[in-house]
Amino acid sequence: MDCGTEDGVPGEDESEANGSASDPDPSPHLPEASPIRVPNSTHPMRILITNDDGIRADGLWSLAEVAQEFGQVVVVAPDHERSACGHSMTMRNPLRVRPVRHPSIEAYEVDGVPVDCVNVGLTVAYPDGCDLVLSGINHGPNLGFDITYSGTAAGAMEGAINGIRSVALSMAVFVVDAPLHFETAQHWIRENWAFLTESPLPELTFLNVNVPSIDPVELRGTRVVQMGQRVYEDRVERREDPWGRPYYWQGGVVVMDPDQPGTDVNAVSEGFVSVTPISLDWTNHQAVEELRRQLRRRSC
């Protein structure tokens, strides 16, 4: 269940060595952000931000920069990339939490996964709870079945499990090394902040948002859509090392048919931002009723 802990959790001695006299402050120095601006309220919105790309990811700080225009922001993110860890959590190992220096945002790095980061944030920064959990901005899409693997979606899912309004945000880019237009996502978030944070949602539901990585003026609008199908072929590739021993490389080629009207896959392919409400109730209620009928029939 513990994703990404294969490097091991450093012991106390190793942790102290990493912060030796020659390196008195090992915390990463992160990009400057705008001064905090919050609504004219005695109780500004309390916002917790995480991601799965790690504490140094540009998408994380692009999201934090725009979010602090609307409330009090605390960032709690993994100390390195944890992509595709799904809704895992760290168990049977301690979590190391370190403050991160930033000119205007309280921030921490955690040697865990996004779910850990949300729970650490709710313990360390917001023990009385927060109003909003944002996860992202992911460096790539989370469309269709991607969300079952996505650490970005998992961060928002954990917020929803804790009864907090939660949103996962991703940049939909499909070409390796193509530019990531985080300014487009920032623009869209500013324009749609009230929609994201105030629209009524059922309990145990979070929003999954994918923004096409294009110039802001090229965005065609926003669509509220259902989850599409985005699958991979040739997922596991067999290779050989220099000694002829086999090993396997997992990844595969994305098979994404854009001809799926009413889905996130289709919306993004046509230049729209996709917004999909994701329920944590994975029950197929139609199948429940049918299986009950089958059970009664066989019991007669």
Specify which of 174-178, 235-239, 267-271 reaches the highest per-range mean pLDDT.
267-271
List strand residue ranges (DSSP E) for 131-283, in order. Answer: 132-138, 165-172, 205-212, 221-224, 231-233, 236-240, 246-250, 253-255, 272-279
pLDDT tens, position by position, 166-179:
999 999 998 778 88
Task: Find all residues with CB under 8 Å of 157, minimum gap 6, and list them.
Answer: 87, 115, 166, 168, 206, 278, 280
Element containing residue 188 per DSSP (H, E): helix 182-191
Q: How many CB atoms are closer than 10 A to CB 123?
A: 12
Indicate the DSSP class of residue 87. Answer: T
pLDDT at 42: 58
d(CA 15, CA 29): 19
Domains of the chain (ranges; CATH) run 12-299 (3.40.1210.10)
Closest CA to 137 of 116, 124, 153: 153
pLDDT tens, position by position, 88-147:
999 999 999 999 999 999 999 999 999 999 999 999 999 999 999 999 999 999 999 999
User: Within 13 Å of residue 273, how many CA atoms lie on the same side as its CB?
Assistant: 25
Token couple for 195: 């929609």
d(CA 196, CA 186): 13
pLDDT at 234: 62
Q: How many CB atoms are closer than 10 A to CB 259?
A: 8
Predicted confidence band of residue 256 (pLDDT cuts 50, 70, 90): low
pLDDT tens, position by position, 13-57:
333 333 333 343 444 444 443 332 333 455 799 999 999 999 999
Its pTM stands at: 0.82
pLDDT at 43: 73
CB contact at 8 A, 106 and 75? yes
Collect contacts of 284-287 with beta carbons under 8 A, ≥24 apart.
none
pLDDT at 180: 94
Predicted confidence band of residue 163 (pLDDT cuts 50, 70, 90): very high
pLDDT at 19: 38
Residue 1 has pLDDT above 60, yes or no: no
